[in-house]
Homo-oligomer: A and B are copies of this chain.
Amino acid sequence: MPSIGAVSPHKLHFAEPLPLASGAALAGYDLVYETYGTLNAARSNAVLVCHALNAGAHVAGLDANGQPGWWDNLVGPGKPLDTNRFFVIGVNNPGSCFGSTGPMHRNPATGRAWGADFPVVTVEDWVDAQARLVQRLGIEQLAAVIGGSLGGMQALAWTMRHPGRVRHCIAVATAPSLSAQNIAFNEVARRAIITDPDFHGGHYYAHGVVPRRGLRVARMVGHITYLSDDSMEAKFGRELKAGPDGPLSYTTQDIEFQIESYLRHQGDKFSEYFDANTYLLITRALDYFDPARAHGGDLAAAFAPARGKHFVLVSFTTDWRFAPARSRELVKALVDNAAAVSYAEIDAPHGHDAFLLDDPRYHGVLRASFERIFHELGTL
């Protein structure tokens, strides 16, 4: 399947402060974005891609380092989200650490890095920032918004917050809110970071250090929740670092099992590039997402603005982070609003991470959805 080839990011400055759910506002900020494909004359073929925790604007194609985008298997010429047909936008959310204004940047109020003073941002805040970008790009209405996991929450929030500006919503491996267990895992990760002596209350930039120990543990625990029990068992089982017939080392501090080696490697890699304050901000955005809250817990009432809109929801059977039952809650609330909902529950072994993989049934659902959206373009 051909790739888009080399791509480069763009950056736009937004001078007008962004009002936030918390009551605070984010003063002038930059957004980094990428686009793929061509905006048609009617400006009707734009698709916005929302990112999850560990990703940014680089959705597809190859960046300056030759790295493919995080959803390159989905987005490109002839791919399910076909850039020969659609104008695709990837944008990095404020508070993240992949180019847009975040806690590592200069706080205009103090002249120093924001650090822990970066305002708490929510899924709805991000969607508002994205809506400004879309407007700046001259797009009145998106053909679709798509995202997986936390990105799926943003896709859903678009239909509640800016229903007139999006026609289709595709939300994969997501949930209407975090469960107590989801929040609990986030909190473990946050405590690991915050109690790392190198965190310095979130102002570690000034100390020239990074709370790497905390980031490693945070990533390790996160990673366990991204994989299914079965896929971890199939991939690692009880295999020893010393090989299948290797002797046991009887060690408490060193690596004995392959799964330990893998997790440590994931933690080490992550701690090299991910910002600790961003980790706190993004896990909190996850925790706070709960559109039903403003409606006394009535999710259907929250989705009232999405009435009559088109939704595609996908979940994966072995995803225990955002299990299919959570997607079914969404389907019910949408159907209660007479929305047009397609829901696919894919029997995939890979757990939550499946939303990033190219399972043919999953990609088949997305391909068919974008086919439909493309053909609708001619009827607008």
Contacts and interface: CB of A to CB of B under 8 A. Distances in A.
A132 interface: no
The binding surface of chain A is classed by DSSP as helix
A238 B290 contact: yes
A216 interface: yes
| Identical copies of this chain, number | 2
A284 B23 CA distance: 48
A217 interface: yes
Contact of A191 (B178, B185, B267): B267
What class of interface size applies to chain A in its complex with B? Answer: 35 or more
Contact of A21 (B21, B250, B260, B293): B250
Contacts of A78: none
Interface of A: 21-24, 116, 119-120, 177-181, 183-185, 187-188, 190-192, 194-197, 201-202, 213, 216-217, 220-221, 224, 227, 229, 232-233, 235-238, 248, 250-253, 256-257, 259-260, 263-264, 267, 277, 280-281, 284, 287-288, 290, 293
A252 B102 CA distance: 14
A236 B180 contact: yes
Nearest to A254: B194
A178, A235, A250, A284, most chain B CB atoms within 10 A: A250
A238 B177 contact: yes
B288 A248 contact: yes
A296 to B, nearest CB: 10
B195 A256 contact: no
- Residue of A188, A236, A248 with highest tally of chain B CB at under 10 A: A188
Given A216-B195, A252-B284, A287-B256, A233 B179 contact: yes
